Structure 1
């Protein structure tokens, strides 16, 4: 198996800085690249990107100025930005380039596989972090980790996972390889459906759903609607998974904020369709009631509408 040497980061939000910054600090200069349009790159070069108080030594590239394919494309945009990012990703691909998506939700890998081939995809979940971007600096307490694994029993997929795991170990990037990736993918999505939307609607922080009260009950109830859908989708999600992801949430920095809350505060488009929108569609498909996610959907839509006025 060919070793991963060069990494191209597409999307320099909180996760792009979190994972890309750790890689750039550990690997030789020029091997961790950030790919973006010219205007954005000029701003990055001028202002810098800071992680742990240090300016990150990224190698900045436009698609047209990419000298050679990357061994790994690390995709860290938001889901609603993925379509626009496809040309950036395509510019980094060679015959053996792998793609890892750190996006929320359960759909990004399918989109990437449709455009670039399933033989490139390594499924991943970014979890246990509380990072947020403050201007050109990353603020966090918990770095979290990248969880990777195979979705099938195909030996070639296991080989791709092993390539990424070996690279992550060499770079000192916190990671775990799991044998039940469909379950892990759905588990993280279940958590996001609960925490992202509840904290956004109640306009709070992680503490909003960590302490007893109405918000915490809403957070759990939204997750339980995903749990009710899981058997219909064959994901293997269980009550034990529900308890695990609640514990993950309770261990995060109470002052932290999930991505949807950050997006609404900044007036950016949120990932509402990725969370409640998907739950409502699956609920309709399988005849499973999803009233809590309906309430969250309507409430967050109202918040967004007020921002647009």
Structure 2
């Protein structure tokens, strides 16, 4: 049986902060012909005209539409928000050949199962994006910490392990920051546990990472929300422990105090948030397993109220501006 060739071409779907951060590092190593950003016609043309900037320079991407894609990619890196996944399904499909692999850098514990249902589990390499604090301002990427992608197999299946190794080889060759782990279900749930705590608490308290790094009510809420995920893990069989809890606290405490997580950024900008991916999923699993989730229920209600308030304010501004 012919072995798949080394991964050479990468397609980025989603050019937000993570798309620029991770795609930009690959483009600098592989060159613009090998790393392409796939978008609809209008968006692709705007990117061609304006570009995006990282580290003070324009990132050397090639911008393509599905229609002008010359050949399938070896790897598709998906960097959208979860609620955008359905919309970019055709973009992902346009990049696939027989051996194309897919890596999702999305938050949460659900995107890989959705992608596997659409495109086949034999394409998936599970990943967790962690330790970065990037945000996009206009066409510029702002960050202090680049973070990394953690990849690994969810099972002992040889084919899955080989897929992980193919991606790891690309990352080693391009000096892309990454770690390969042998406990991916635990790592996936650990990062989700952190996101449940930090994304929602910072958003509700209208703060920054510093809000949950300092002792006080907000940090207590942040940790309590995480503990509810820890309790769920025992029922889900994903193996989270108190050591994992402490590990993710250390990760959080090492991030730029002035930065903000994505849910807080989205809430401030009036964009749809990933609340359902965090508290929504915790509450659903809590009901399924019979585990109380009062902290996430409070976070869910509070952030929903802020979303409604932001929507009303936006509508009011829109009406007054038309007078």
Instruction: Report if TM-score (shorter chain) is over 0.5.
Output: yes
Query: CA–CA distance in 2 between the matches of 1:51 and 1:68?
Result: 27
**Match in the other structure for 1:247:** 250
Contact 2:125 2:151 in 1 (8 A): yes
TM-score (norm 2): 0.95
1:117 counterpart = 2:117:
no
Query: CA–CA distance in 2 between the matches of 1:113 and 1:67?
Result: 25
**Match in the other structure for 1:99:** 102
Deviation at 1:175, TM superposition (A): 0.2
Which sits farther off after the overlay, 92-101 or 28-37? 28-37
**Match in the other structure for 1:263:** 266
Query: CA–CA distance in 1 between the matches of 2:210 and 2:165?
Result: 37
Deviation at 1:29, TM superposition (A): 2.9
2:218 aligns with one of 215, 220, 224: 215
Contact 2:31 2:60 in 1 (8 A): no
**Match in the other structure for 2:88:** 85
Query: What's the Cα RMSD here?
Result: 0.6
Query: CA–CA distance in 2 between the matches of 1:111 and 1:142?
Result: 29
Query: CA–CA distance in 2 between the matches of 1:200 and 1:47?
Result: 31
1:306 counterpart = 2:313:
no
2:24 aligns with one of 3, 17, 21: 21
Query: CA–CA distance in 2 between the matches of 1:2 and 1:120?
Result: 15
Contact 2:130 2:149 in 1 (8 A): yes
**Match in the other structure for 2:41:** 38
**Match in the other structure for 2:318:** none
**Match in the other structure for 1:283:** 286
Query: CA–CA distance in 2 between the matches of 1:139 and 1:168?
Result: 23
Contact 2:79 2:104 in 1 (8 A): yes
1:172 counterpart = 2:201:
no
Deviation string 1:167-213 (CA, Å, 9 cap, x unpaired) is: 00111110000000000000000000000000000010000000011
Query: CA–CA distance in 1 between the matches of 2:95 and 2:192?
Result: 28
Query: CA–CA distance in 2 between the matches of 1:215 and 1:221?
Result: 10
Give unmatched runs, 5+ long, in structure 2.
313-323
How many residues are aligned here?
309
1:65 counterpart = 2:52:
no
SS state at 1:64 partner: coil
2:138 aligns with one of 135, 139, 159: 135
SS state at 2:67 partner: helix
2:239 aligns with one of 236, 260, 263: 236
Deviation at 1:48, TM superposition (A): 1.2
Q: Where in structure 1 do 4 or more consecutive aligned residues deviate above 2 Å? A: none
Query: CA–CA distance in 1 between the matches of 2:30 and 2:273?
Result: 33
TM-score (norm 1): 0.99
Largest Rg, 1 or 2: 2
Give unmatched runs, 5+ long, in structure 1.
none
Deviation at 1:28, TM superposition (A): 2.6
SS state at 1:21 partner: helix
Deviation at 1:43, TM superposition (A): 1.4
Query: CA–CA distance in 2 between the matches of 1:129 and 1:233?
Result: 27
Deviation string 1:81-124 (CA, Å, 9 cap, x unpaired) is: 00111100000000000000000000000000000000000000
1:12 aligns with one of 9, 15, 28: 15
